Every structure is written in structure tokens, then in C-alpha cells.
Amino acid sequence: METEYYKFGPYKIDPKEVFYSTDLSYAMVNLRPVVPGNCSLLNLRRNAAKCHILFDLCMYISSVGELCDGPEAGQTVAHVHIHILPRKSGDFEKNDEIYDAIDEKENELKQKLDLDKERKDRSLDEMAEEAAEYRKLFS
């Protein structure tokens, strides 16, 4: 898909960061990857309608590259699954405090797995280089 830029919520994503796209979805490299190969899959639509498209894209991207799966990926149950975080009004004093709670749990996990690596923003050139390498896998 040729576009001036992709939308990700309020953000404009440079096409150089995108390594695969369809009429309804796209895959992009991350600004702050946790591990090599960390990428994001997005619907071109901003809402959850047709979210099955993301699962289709996930299966395709995972089948071409190395799927992060199993204990090394933090998977504690050897079965494909999705985590859902049910929310209700007032469950946190400030809505974004859920991220602090997630970070706390992630820090506990990092201590157990010794994954305490610094994540830093990458330049557009660095992300474009990675996306170009991934594009080769899908052409």
C-alpha cells in the first residue's frame, strides 16, 4: 500500500517503518524494541472492527519470521492464547495507572528472568534499515 504515512492513533508512521501491508492492515518495526524482531501489527481502521484481520496478519508474519513462542517468549502455558485485561470505571484512580500496574508485574518478571535491558528510541534510519530487511522476507 503506497501512502504518505500510516496512522497509529494520533501518530503518523513513516512508510519506511512499515515492512508489510495489506488493504486492511500493516506490520511495522518498533521505536523501542524489547528484543530483536519486536514489531507491531495494526488495523488500518482505528477501531476493533474486523480485528480478526490482525490475527490473520499475525499468523502470516509469524510463519515467515521466527515466531516468539514458548518459554523464551515468557509463555508460561504451552498453548496459543491472548491476554485480556478487563476494565471497569474507577478500577484505577487515574486511567493510565493500569500501565504502572503492568510495569510492576513486568519488573517482577524481569527480575525472575534477568531481562533488565535498556530500551532506547531508535532513529528513523535504524528502523527503516530493519524494516527493509523484513520486507525481503515478504517479497
Catalytic residue among 52, 79, 81, 83: 81
81 assigned to active site: yes
**Integer Cα distance of 139 and 133 in angstroms:** 11
**Integer Cα distance of 61 and 129 in angstroms:** 18
Classified as helix, coil or strand, 123 is: coil
Give one DSSP letter per residue of 34-95, joined into a string.
Answer: SSTT-EEEEESSSSSTTTHHHHHHHHHHHHHS----SGGGT--SSS---------TTSSSST
Active site residues: 81
